A and B are shown apart, each in its own frame.
Chain A
Amino acid sequence: MDYFSKKKSDTAIDQNLKEAYFTASQGQLIRARYKSNRTAMFAGWVLTLMILFGFFSEFLSPYEPTMAGRDKQYENGPPQIPKFWDENGFSFRPFIYGTKRERSIKTNFRWVISIDRQDRRYLHFFVQGWEYSYIEFDWDLPGEVFDLDVKALTFNTHFFGVDKGGIHLFGTDKSGKDIYSRTLLAIMTSLKCGVLGVFIAFVLALVIGGISGYYGGWIDQILQMITDAIRTVPPLPLFMALAAFLPSEWSAEAVFFVISSILGLIGWPTLARRIRTHLLSERSQDYVLAAQLCGASSNHIIRRHLLPSFTSYIIVDLMITFPYMVRLETALSFIGLGLIDPVSSLGSMMQNVSKADVLLNYQWYFIPVIFFIVFVLAFVFVGDGLRDAADPYSKTKK
């Protein structure tokens, strides 16, 4: 008896699964396929984690990442890793050691930091610290009219801190700024820059590539010529030229805005070409002709047939363009043309890395580099995973 009822429920489950497969929309199928790709899922989690770190960077950082939060007592200091146990015993509360710095003839008049192993400084969680707001606009754009000054959602709680002195998980740089805090902020900055750039590129690409691909003919020819012309512009010399033109009194935000816009304006041709190709191939499909033969308007065809057909490709394209934007911004900041010190972006932080002094003595400056690599790789893997999931030549779309 039991065997038979078990068998029935097995076939019922099978039927349900099959039915679910048959009634799954393209989007659901793509999601299911993506989930089965472990690398992509893992990369997705890493990416989400990093983005969350970026969002909550102020909460997670014990010190302000700017000059205002620098620790004058701990310049060029090595990373301080909290410990639970040392020769003096075990402690539930993690601690770090106190530090002193001194210089003398013996050290060639360089400041040398010494660790006092008897001076334990315990970590506390949810401490009060510097103030930060989630919604803060203080844009000093050129021209008084555009200035924006808004402040809301202000807190001053931080995830951790020490009772005495400073705690610098990744060490400090030469002016005492906490590298850990700067890294977290940098993730956010690079992210924002990338998002803005991708957004601008996407809007332009959608309009131009869309018109080009949908109408074809001479409109397509002209727009393609324009697109190709812009594509040939090499970004680095363009930036150098612009950097020479940017007034130095512009605030960091203004520079940031302009840089992101430039990235977008340079990045749209590639995206536009991809959109155009998608549209051209989908436009000649039989089902589009079938809709036209019903008398459907262009609007209807674009909305119901063409847009859904390449939504998944566009998402993939965006995901893949993102790391390019971040890399471009990082590269430019690295050579001093984009966001520069003291603004934190992954690129500006890596600017400091190329000196011999750093390589020999202050290796912890490299830690943001690791973050940058992980960040970009995560994007790339997620993008690849999405592209595989949305692959038009896979088995389900015969």
Chain B
Amino acid sequence: MSLLSVENLYLQFDTDEGRITAVDDVSFELNEGEVLGLVGESGSGKSVTAKSLMQLNPSNSVYGSGSKINLDLENNVVDVLSLKKARELEIVRGGAISMIFQEPMASFAPAITIGNQMVEQLIIHTSLSKKGAAELSVEMLERVGINEPHKRFFQYAFELSGGMRQRAMIAMALSTKPKLLIADEPTTALDVTIQAQVLDLMKDLVKEFGMAILFITHDLGVIAQVADRVAVMYLGRIVESGPVREVLHSPSHPYTKGLLNALPKLDALDEPLTPIPGDIPSPLERPPGCVFHTRCPEVLADRCNSSVPQHTNVGQDHFTSCFVVDSTGKSA
């Protein structure tokens, strides 16, 4: 039984300009102790998908009627999308699922000390006393590698550097021992040497706490280092998904291939960079049929613009949504 099972997630936003589809038929599973990477560029819907797991999307969001997000809590399985009462959602948010964000300055309240915020979260989700919560928080701060945790407990967010703030956020997120940690671009705003430290930390914590991580990023290198499995998203659909080694070594979807080719690689300095032609379409103008066909170098004239490709298995647990690929993983 997997920890998290997302089935047929559809999400649209009701805006002045009409209904915009942000997530289109996304399904995936996540097991305990597993790190799933969600990769995509802007407009891919990865952040929105993550926020759906805790119903954090704005009020103008419309979920599909068949969409389910099944979360395995201790005693039962809950469909997060069906939760309406604030009390029920509170158990999920911060308790079973924790989230860390890209901009740690923006997620810590500026006028409350870090310690107070961590304690507040613990008091909501656990039965610890204030003293117990404070002790646990200091312990967590130390665990994430923040030096002088007792001093930092009483400091404000602006007194810490970017890397430390991100660690403090991880500490806060993990203090409630969640089963699932959602990390939304957690290292994008960090310097590369700090990013390396934070990624190492996260890998260690996964081993120690046994939680699952949904790691969202646009950086394929980070995914390669941290994730076990990866799902590549484009304009709200998952176009390819599978174990990280397979997807990165033998990508089958043209978008994944294009993404990998466009990346500057340190071990191939002489190769030219090959961008993916065209621009990402605006969400108001979703291409019919396969969402990628407008930029695809392997597009099949009549098929790709009229029907939506379904999942084709191209390997062990590795599938792609493309007409050009047949089940052996080779292009047709």
Q: Which A residues form the contact surface with B (CB < 8 A)? A: 36, 395
Closest chain B residue, CB of each to CB of A14: B285
Across chains A and B, which 4 residue pairs bring their CB atoms closest together, nearest first? Answer: A36-B16, A395-B15, A395-B16, A395-B17
Closest chain B residue, CB of each to CB of A33: B16
List 4 contacting pairs A-B, 8 Å CB cutoff, sorted by A.
A36-B16, A395-B15, A395-B16, A395-B17
Question: Chain A contacts of B17 at CB under 8 A?
Answer: 395
Q: A36 vs B15: C-alpha distance in the bound complex, in angstroms? A: 13
Q: A168 vs B172: C-alpha distance in the bound complex, in angstroms? A: 73
Q: Mark B199-216, 1 if CB is under 8 A from A, else 0.
A: 000000000000000000
Q: Give chain B nearest CB distance to A30 CB in angstroms.
A: 15
Q: Which B residues form the contact surface with A (CB < 8 A)? A: 15-17
Contacts between chains A and B (CB distance < 8 A), count: 4
Question: Chain B contacts of A36 at CB under 8 A?
Answer: 16
Q: A395 vs B17: C-alpha distance in the bound complex, in angstroms? A: 10
Q: Give chain A nearest CB distance to B309 CB in angstroms.
A: 26
Q: A216 vs B262: C-alpha distance in the bound complex, in angstroms? A: 45
Question: Chain B contacts of A395 at CB under 8 A?
Answer: 15-17
Q: A47 vs B16: C-alpha distance in the bound complex, in angstroms? A: 27
Q: A36 vs B17: C-alpha distance in the bound complex, in angstroms? A: 12
Q: A395 vs B15: C-alpha distance in the bound complex, in angstroms? A: 10
Q: A395 vs B16: C-alpha distance in the bound complex, in angstroms? A: 10
Q: Give chain A nearest CB distance to B254 CB in angstroms.
A: 27
Q: Give chain B nearest CB distance to A31 CB in angstroms.
A: 16
Question: Chain A contacts of B16 at CB under 8 A?
Answer: 36, 395
Closest chain B residue, CB of each to CB of A36: B16
Q: A126 vs B27: C-alpha distance in the bound complex, in angstroms? A: 76
Q: Give chain A nearest CB distance to B103 CB in angstroms.
A: 17
Closest chain A residue, CB of each to CB of B15: A395
Closest chain B residue, CB of each to CB of A394: B16
Q: Give chain A nearest CB distance to B41 CB in angstroms.
A: 16
Q: Give chain B nearest CB distance to A160 CB in angstroms.
A: 45
Q: A36 vs B16: C-alpha distance in the bound complex, in angstroms? A: 10
Q: Give chain B nearest CB distance to A98 CB in angstroms.
A: 58
Q: Give chain B nearest CB distance to A20 CB in angstroms.
A: 14
Q: A395 vs B284: C-alpha distance in the bound complex, in angstroms? A: 13
Closest chain A residue, CB of each to CB of B285: A18
Q: Give chain B nearest CB distance to A251 CB in angstroms.
A: 53
Q: A277 vs B320: C-alpha distance in the bound complex, in angstroms? A: 52
Q: Give chain B nearest CB distance to A40 CB in angstroms.
A: 15
Q: A395 vs B58: C-alpha distance in the bound complex, in angstroms? A: 15
Closest chain B residue, CB of each to CB of A18: B285
Q: Give chain B nearest CB distance to A215 CB in angstroms.
A: 29
Q: Give chain A nearest CB distance to B247 CB in angstroms.
A: 31
Closest chain A residue, CB of each to CB of B284: A18
Q: Give chain B nearest CB distance to A327 CB in angstroms.
A: 33
Q: Give chain B nearest CB distance to A196 CB in angstroms.
A: 39
Q: Give chain B nearest CB distance to A211 CB in angstroms.
A: 32
Q: Give chain A nearest CB distance to B262 CB in angstroms.
A: 23
Q: A318 vs B291: C-alpha distance in the bound complex, in angstroms? A: 47
Question: Chain A contacts of B15 at CB under 8 A?
Answer: 395
Q: A382 vs B40: C-alpha distance in the bound complex, in angstroms? A: 43
Closest chain A residue, CB of each to CB of B17: A395
Q: A94 vs B17: C-alpha distance in the bound complex, in angstroms? A: 50
Q: Give chain A nearest CB distance to B285 CB in angstroms.
A: 9
Q: Give chain A nearest CB distance to B106 CB in angstroms.
A: 15
Q: A321 vs B16: C-alpha distance in the bound complex, in angstroms? A: 30
Q: Give chain A nearest CB distance to B26 CB in angstroms.
A: 24
Q: Give chain B nearest CB distance to A7 CB in angstroms.
A: 14
Q: A59 vs B286: C-alpha distance in the bound complex, in angstroms? A: 59
Q: A395 vs B283: C-alpha distance in the bound complex, in angstroms? A: 13
Q: Give chain A nearest CB distance to B108 CB in angstroms.
A: 22
Q: A220 vs B15: C-alpha distance in the bound complex, in angstroms? A: 42
Q: Give chain A nearest CB distance to B139 CB in angstroms.
A: 40
